[in-house]
Every structure is written in C-alpha cells, then in structure tokens.
Chains A and B, each alone.
Chain A
Amino acid sequence: MFRNYFKIAVRNLLRHKGFSFINISGLAVGMASAVLIILWILSEVHYDDFHEKKARIYQVWNKATFSGKLQCWNTTPKVLAKYVQQDVPEIEQATRAEWPNNYLLTYLEKRLKSQGNIVDSNFLQVFSFPLLQGNPKSVLMDMHSMVVTETLAKKLFGDDNPVGKIVKLDNKENFTVTGVLKDIPTNTRFKFEFLLPWSYLRRNGNDDEYWGNNSVSNFVLLKENATIDAANNKIKKIKVRYDKTEDPSWEMFLYPMSRWRLYGNFTNGVEEGGRITFVQLFGIIAAFILLIACINFMNLSTARSEKRAREVGIRKVVGARKGALVVQFIGESILLSLIAGVIALLLVQVSLPGFNSLTDKKLSIPYGSWEFWLASLAFVLLTGLVAGSYPAFFLSSFRPVKVLKGTIKTTNAFITPRKVLVVLQFTFAIILIICTIIVKQQIDYARDRETGYNKNNLVYHFLDGDLDKNYQLVKTELLSSGIATSVTKTSAPLTQGWSDSWGFQWEGKDPNDKTDFDRFCSDEGLAKTAGLQFVAGRDFNLQQFPTDSTGIIINESAAKVMNFKDPLGQIVKDNGIDWHIVGVIKDFILQSPFYPTKPMVIEGSKGFFNCIHIKLNEARSTADNLAKAEAIFKKYNPEFPFIYKFVDEEYAKKFDNEKRTATLAALFAALTIFISCLGLFGLAAYMAENRVKEIGIRKVLGASVGGITTLPSKDFLKLVIVSILIASPIAWWAMYKWLQDYPYRVEIRWWVFVAAGLTSILIAIGTVSYQSVRAAIANPVKNLRSE
C-alpha cells in the first residue's frame, strides 16, 4: 500500500511541477530559516554547558540600594574570595578572575598582542577548560607560570613543544609556559588566549583588601551535598560583617552559572530575564516562519483539491477508509517535507557564514552527531505533519458520491480556513516590516544624537610599554611635526567608561546620596583634542596652572547633582585627594547613546592613565599622518606594535547590537514576505484557473482587460487589508515594549503603519497581478470551449 502511495506522490510531484516547486522551495526556505534560528538558540541555551561542575558553580553578586533603587551587579571585591572560603563551609573552592587585558607577548623574534586573564591558581579546577598538557592543580602555582591555548602556542612556538618555553610579558618579565589549553569554545563567557596567576597581580601591588573596590569576578564551587540556600544565608551579610563603614542593608548572593547567559537582568532586586527574551522571540519567529511555509502547503493543497477529489472518490469506492487516505496524504506531505529538508540543509550550509557574521557566532552543522540526524528527522516529520494534516483531513472527507459527479466546488464563504491562513501569513509579515522600520528609526535617532564632542580625525592608542615614560617626547614630536593638532593623555578611550564611583564627597552632600559618577582622567587639552564645550571655567593647563594636576572638570549633570551655586573652585574628595573644580563642560556621551549621560568628573594629571588621544591634523592626509605617527611611536616604544583606533569607528560600534536586531528583523521580514508571496502566487494561479469560465463570459459580455485584471486582485487585497488591521496594533505593542528599554527613543508614528501597509499591498498586488493579467488576456472563446 505504501509503495502505491509513494508512487502516486512522486508522480504527482512530477506532473504538477509548478505546484511542487512552490511548495518545496517555500518549505525549504522556511525550514532553513528555522534551522538557522534553532542553531542560534541551541548555542545560547548551551552556553558554558561544557563545564563539568556547572550545576555547582556560582558567581557572587552584590545587592545594594542606590537613590532608592535596589541594584544588583556582579563585580565584587578582590578580598571576598578569601572570606567566603573561610566563612562558608558549603563552598568547596572560591576563585577570582580579573578583567581580560591585552598584553605584548615576546618569544625570541616573535611579538604579538594577545588577550590574557589573571586568575586564581585553582581556576582550572573549578572551570573545565581542558588541558592538553599540564596539571590543572599545579599549572598556575608559580608566580611566573603561564597557561596558553593551543592556537596561541602555535602562533608563538610553531610545532615546538610549548611547555617550558619562556615568554616575555609586556617586554618586562619572563613567564614559563606550564600548560597548554585546548582552544576555548566560543560559547563561553570567558575570552582569553592565556592565563596568568593571581600571585603575579599580588606581587605588582594590585591586590588589595579593600571591601569598597568592586573590581573583579568572584566565583565559587559549592560542595556536592551543599544547598544553595544554606550558602546564600551565610554569604548574605559577609560584606557588612567585615566592612563596618558599609550600609547595613548591603547584601551579597550567589547567582548560578546556568542563568548567567540568558538571565542576569535585575530590576529593583528582582531577576527580570535578559537574553532569554531574545531566545524566546527568535523561537517564536522560527516557529512562525516554518508555519507560514506550512500554510503555503495547506493552502495550495486545498486550493487544488478539485484535482485530487476524483482520486479520493475512486479510492473510497474501491474500499479505502478515511484513515488510509489521511495516511496517504500526510505521507505525501512528509515526502515533500523530506525533499525540502534536504534542500534546506544545503541552504543552511551555504548561508551559515553570513548568518554567523550577522549574529557574531561560530555556528556549524553537527554532521557527526547522531542526535542531530535524529532531530532533523523529527523536524522533517513534524513539518510534514503540520503541513499535511489539514489538507489530509480536508481531502479525505470528500464524499465519493459528490466528487465522482463533479459537484465539489470551492466555497465562496465570507471566512474560509484558506483566507484565515493567508491573513495569518500577511499579518506576521506586516508585523516584521513595521518592527524593521521602527528599529531602524531608533538607531538613526540615537546616531543623530549630539555626542557632545568631535569624533573626526580623532584616534587613540593604549599607553603600553615605554609610552607612559616617553609621553611628553611623543606628544612634543607629534605636535611639532604637524601630524597632530592636539594630544591628550586619558584614563580610558573617549567611547568607554572604565571607572565609576559613588564615593565622591563634597560640601553639602547628603550622606545617603549614592549617585554613581563616571570617573575619567585627562592631563590637559582634552577640550581641544575632543572638541568639548565649556559652560564655565576652563580646561587643564599644567604650564600655566601647575595645581591643575589636582584639578577636576565636571559635566553639567554632575554640577546639578552636586548642587553648587558656583561650582568653580569647589572641592571634591576622591581616593584621598582634594580635587578642585576648574571647569564645567556640556555633557558628552561616554557610554551608551541610548541612555542619558551620567554625572561625570574628569580628574587631572594626578589621576590614572591608559590612553593617548591624538587629534590628527586635518590639513594633511590621514594615511600620511598615521604613517608618521607610527614612526614616532616606534622610536619611543620600539618593542610594541603601533595599534591605533579611530574614535568615530569605535563610537559606531555602540550601535552594533541594534543594527544586528534591525538586520535580523529585515531578514526575517524579507523571508516571510518571500514565502508568503510564493504561496499567494500559487493560490492566484489556481484561482485564475478556477475562474477561467467566469472570466471568459465576462469578456464575451464586454468586460475590459483592466476590469478583469482587478477581479482576483480585489479578493486578495481584502485579505491583506484585514492583515494590516490585525498586525498594526500587535506591532505597535511589541515596539512600544521594546522601546521602553531605551530612555532616548523615537516616537512611534502613524505613517510607519501606513508605509508597511502600502508596501504589503503593493507586494501582494504585484504577486497576484501576473496571474490576473494572464487570465484576463486569454482568448475567451478557447476558455469557454474548453469548459
């Protein structure tokens, strides 16, 4: 029996090539889109899944009240690890990680910059980064030990055995490679190419026992039989127990590794999701795209039901039960889905590089995994079942008495399942069009926002190697050679906030005020270098005013918070230094362009420095400027490569996430429209075929080609208009919710809905009109005769 079904299915596919093409291509594109999204979702869900002790690993978080709001964050004091290990018996191990940093590594003649992480020596006993060489218990015990990944080892040592090799770090100290790690996977929160021991950081004087310095990540591994509640109870008040100056309400808690990636957003102390929202949203989009492709199959199968009706009648007459026919038709759709699945796999393979670059992932198809093939088979079966079940029940319910007489006619009811399905398809497509437009508007809105400084021809370089020592020489030469018009030393790039504090003190400050300030440092000339605008006072000038080394410049938001009548000359205490205000600048965007600028203080040359900002001379070519600047940097910092960044390019990266969202929304919208239009094209073809007699009669009676062309278009137009009416409020609600995350946001304008509606109408009419025109220009005599 199944052979018979198979034969007839294959012959049907070959006989109705147009129908088969529309169905298979629509399903293949839908399945490929769904598979890409599923791969993305799986990579998110299985983030950091490879750690063997994942279920017992936690990070310590802070929970404290600022300006009346309970806030949670995950940077904690360096001293914490020692005390949690000591005070909480449920904890098997505590381990710390510094922020990753770029270091210059030198091995013989080879020099390269690489990202390293300073971690506690037990780091590799808590986290499962497999060692190809070395013992996880001992590889980081020595202060000058170093563990490298296999890729870094290859880069440094070629095919030689890395263990025992001596590498110079930042051209200062030698480290011995004690272990080689398998390259770390992409789906982990840790990003490093090598590890250094915490003892090195301690030796450099960068370790501290200050409970107020929330600057590192503290992780703990619970004992196997320990409960999280018991550990949390003991850790809750650990900070206030040791730091008597702290607000007694300050708490700490353990946050499980399983929630780091997808959750971690807290509002007023309560976990409120995170990336999980995107995962869910992508899941819904994948399901809808697949459903839309299935809807094409359902619609086309039922639209051409008259063609299959006679077969159904005959089969029933010769003894087929309804169940057998259902099995036959579902089998046909599974066969079709199988063919589409194979094509989808090819499409996924071809589009993966593009999708990876769009989503910043390294996804791949796990061809070697039997689970993958099993899941694929289940996916194909499910798609076949979803697509085939409605047509199967619809077709198999035909009564032979009627179909063999040829009395089955398509219904002209006001609401039919087919119309509902077309409306569903277009509703989804229109929602995505509206979302794409609004996300794009939001990006443009933030991009057009006044940054408060001049990004053009502004580059920065990290203050590595001998640059700090030779800064004045470098600066003088850059200026005297005409390469630069202004040079300033800063604590961080102008596009990044590296330091913040609520510990600033000034006269009249409310003791309960914990307003968080961005902390930035500059030696002098920042206003000129970055084009900042002063509303009061002046820039630092160490030549004229040597006391500017302890001067500060504040922004307008800080001036409001500090509430000085005349801020100039006022004293602000920070890190044990009395800083005096020399100027007030207009706010400029240091961090996110989607958020209001925070209060900010720029401390003078007594502060800390990591960068040089250079305003290139606009009168000369940029390439020439950079070439000459490189020569100067090489002269004074010969061991380090000249690695500069343009501030405007770095600023543009702040929009990467939103741009990615917009591109994905546009991509999904385009795919949805493509699949929906394929279906519409097929439906229009069948409808034109069914109305061939009506069109012939109308033409004989004098109807014009134009009048007839609009006949089928009108029917579809009504459905698209209904879709617009349903989609608009849904899209408005979704975008309203999305925009709430952005304090700086666009207003949702009515014309967006009109534009999306008109676009979908034009696309629908364009799709249908080919069939309408073909039907309208056909010779009526021929059509009527054929009837």
Chain B
Amino acid sequence: MEKIYRTEEVETVALNKLNLDVKEGEFVAVMGPSGCGKSTLLNILGLLDEPDSGSFLFNGIEVAKYNERKRADLRKRNIGFVFQSFNLIDELTVFENVELPLIYLGVTAADRKTRVEDVLDKMQIMHRRNHYPQQLSGGQQQRVAVARAVVNKPKLILADEPTGNLDSSNGNEVMQLLTDLNEQGTTIIMVTHSEHDARYSHRIVRMLDGQTVLENIMV
C-alpha cells in the first residue's frame, strides 16, 4: 500500500508500496528511524487512517475503502490500541476508562461490570478501580491502557511504543502483559524503538523510507 502526505509545498511519501503480511497469533515488532512510516502503518492497520492506494486485507476482507462508520465498527469489535502516552480520559476513573469500549459495543451494564473487573484483576489494578488516571503512576496507567485494549477481546492489538514513557521495570511488566496476551491467541503488532522490547516479538520488521527493508525472525 501507499500513503502520501501533501501540503502546498511539500509531498511526503509515508508508505512507499509497502507489503506486509501478518498471520493470526503473530507478535510482530515494527522498527525503524523516526519518519520511516511506522506510525502511519500502525494507523492504517488500526483503521484510523486509510491508504491512498493499494489493498488492506483484514481477516481476508478488503477494508482499504471502508468509510468511517464501517471502519469504526470493525475497529471496535476487532482491534485494541495501546499508546506510548497511555491516552486515558482524565475525567473518567480506571473502571470507567476500561469500560468505554464495551459501552460502544452495546454490552449490558451487568456484563460490563463482570468483564471490566475480570480484566482489571488480570492486570492487577483492581485496587485502583475508582482512581483517576492522574492519581496513578505511569506503569499503572499503561496497565489500565492495556486493560482497556483487551477488554473487548480483540483479535489484534496495536501498540505504539507502549514502554516509551515507562522506566525499565514498568516497561518489562507491560511487555510481559503483551506476551501473555499473545500466548492466549491475540495477534500483536508493536511499533518500537527499543531492541529490548522488540525481542519479545516473533518477528521484527525493519522499515526505512516507507518500505520494509529487513525482517528478522526471532528464535
């Protein structure tokens, strides 16, 4: 696929006829220097953005030309996101932040309660359920973000530098969480600058100037 950003004066090729195939259950790390197109790729894979040309098959279905409504529907049922800056809503408590995707899925209140408490338990953050994000440490906030990403049991988790704002101890914990999720069958695609984090994956895809230049299979 191809993605070009245009302004009045400059044209930037973010993805240059990029070709990538990710199998169900894989854990793929995407690496490369700043501006190589990693985040653009992640946004397109997460149906937050669309390619200018090319094809994007998700679960065997062509989704490149989906409109916003269809993309939102597909996204909320199949994809979870974890961001470097956590992106929790400050006005909502831990419980309410994690509950949010279930609300948009139309899950009943009783079911939501069970599922949110279950996932908070797994993430060992249950004791903080009524706290607001700003009352938590960075590591705890990222646990909440991961909890929110997995609460609707997505097929795919997209993580954009999930440990970028964390110290090494908290970072390792988050990576272990992602690994556990992958072992339970969730496909994970993670953008990272960290070789250390990338080693948690099955395969490292290296990008340069909008193309994949190298792939390392981890043993």
Digit string of B63-88 for contact with A (CB within 8 Å is 1, else 0)?
Answer: 00000110011011100010101011
Contact status A401-B75, CB under 8 Å: no
Give the residues in chain B near A315, CB-CB below 8 Å. 89, 100, 104
CA distance A210 to B45 in the complex (A): 97
Contact status A4-B72, CB under 8 Å: no
Residues of B84-121 at the interface with A, using a CB-CB cut-off of 8 Å, are: 85, 87-89, 91-92, 96, 99-101, 103-105
Q: When A7-B96, A319-B105, A320-B104 are in contact, do A314 and B72 touch as well, CB less than 8 Å?
A: no
Q: When A15-B91, A404-B87 are in contact, do A318 and B104 touch as well, CB less than 8 Å?
A: yes
Contact status A404-B83, CB under 8 Å: yes
Contact of A317 among B39, B81, B91 (CB under 8 A): B81
Interface residues on A, range: 20 to 34
Contact status B75-A321, CB under 8 Å: no
Report if A1 contacts B (CB, 8 A).
Answer: yes
Give the residues in chain A near B99, CB-CB below 8 Å. 4
Contact of B48 among A1, A15, A317 (CB under 8 A): A317
Closest to B44 in A: A401
Digit string of B35-79 for contact with A (CB within 8 Å is 1, else 0)?
Answer: 000010001001011000000000000000000110011011100
Report if A313 contacts B (CB, 8 A).
Answer: yes
Chain A contact residues: helix, strand, loop or mixed: helix
Q: Which of A319, A321, A324 has the most CB of B within 10 A?
A: A319
Closest to B69 in A: A321
CA distance A317 to B78 in the complex (A): 12
Report if A519 contacts B (CB, 8 A).
Answer: no
Report if B203 contacts A (CB, 8 A).
Answer: no
Report if B148 contacts A (CB, 8 A).
Answer: yes
Contact status B103-A400, CB under 8 Å: no
Closest to A316 in B: B72
Q: When A4-B103, A319-B105 are in contact, do A314 and B96 touch as well, CB less than 8 Å?
A: no
Contact status B91-A11, CB under 8 Å: yes
Given A311-B89, A319-B77, output 15 extra A-B contacts at Cβ < 8 Å: A4-B92, A4-B99, A4-B103, A12-B91, A310-B89, A311-B91, A314-B100, A318-B100, A319-B76, A319-B104, A320-B72, A321-B73, A324-B104, A404-B83, A404-B87
Give the residues in chain B near A4, CB-CB below 8 Å. 92, 96, 99-100, 103
Contact status B75-A314, CB under 8 Å: no
CB of A393, distance to nearest CB on chain B (Å): 14
Digit string of A400-421 for contact with B (CB within 8 Å is 1, else 0)?
Answer: 1100110000000000000000
Q: When A400-B48, A404-B87 are in contact, do A322 and B101 touch as well, CB less than 8 Å?
A: no
Report if A8 contacts B (CB, 8 A).
Answer: yes
Q: When A318-B76, A319-B104, A321-B72 are in contact, do A401 and B48 touch as well, CB less than 8 Å?
A: yes
Closest 9 CB pairs of A and B: A319-B76, A319-B104, A318-B101, A11-B91, A321-B72, A8-B91, A401-B43, A401-B48, A1-B103
Q: When A310-B87, A400-B48 are in contact, do A317 and B75 touch as well, CB less than 8 Å?
A: yes
Q: Which of A12, A310, A317, A321 has the most CB of B within 10 A?
A: A317
CA distance A400 to B71 in the complex (A): 13
Give the residues in chain A near B46, CB-CB below 8 Å. 317
Q: Which of A314, A317, A318, A404 has the most CB of B within 10 A?
A: A318
Give the residues in chain B near A322, CB-CB below 8 Å. 68-69
Contact status A314-B88, CB under 8 Å: yes
Q: List 28 A-B contacts (CB under 8 A).
A: A1-B103, A4-B92, A4-B99, A4-B103, A7-B92, A8-B92, A310-B87, A310-B89, A314-B100, A315-B100, A316-B48, A316-B72, A317-B46, A317-B48, A317-B81, A318-B81, A318-B100, A319-B105, A319-B152, A320-B72, A321-B69, A321-B72, A321-B104, A322-B68, A322-B69, A324-B104, A399-B48, A404-B85
CB of B129, distance to nearest CB on chain A (Å): 15
Give the residues in chain B near A313, CB-CB below 8 Å. 87
Contact status A319-B101, CB under 8 Å: yes
Closest to A315 in B: B100
CA distance A192 to B167 in the complex (A): 88
Give the residues in chain B near A404, CB-CB below 8 Å. 83, 85, 87
Contact of A314 among B39, B43, B49, B87 (CB under 8 A): B87
CA distance A535 to B55 in the complex (A): 103
Closest to A324 in B: B104
Digit string of A228-259 for contact with B (CB within 8 Å is 1, else 0)?
Answer: 00000000000000000000000000000000
Contact status A318-B148, CB under 8 Å: yes
CA distance A316 to B75 in the complex (A): 9
Give the residues in chain A near B148, CB-CB below 8 Å. 318
CA distance A313 to B92 in the complex (A): 15
Contact status B49-A401, CB under 8 Å: yes
Give the residues in chain A near B88, CB-CB below 8 Å. 314
Give the residues in chain B near A316, CB-CB below 8 Å. 48, 72
Give the residues in chain B near A1, CB-CB below 8 Å. 103-104
CB of A404, distance to nearest CB on chain B (Å): 6
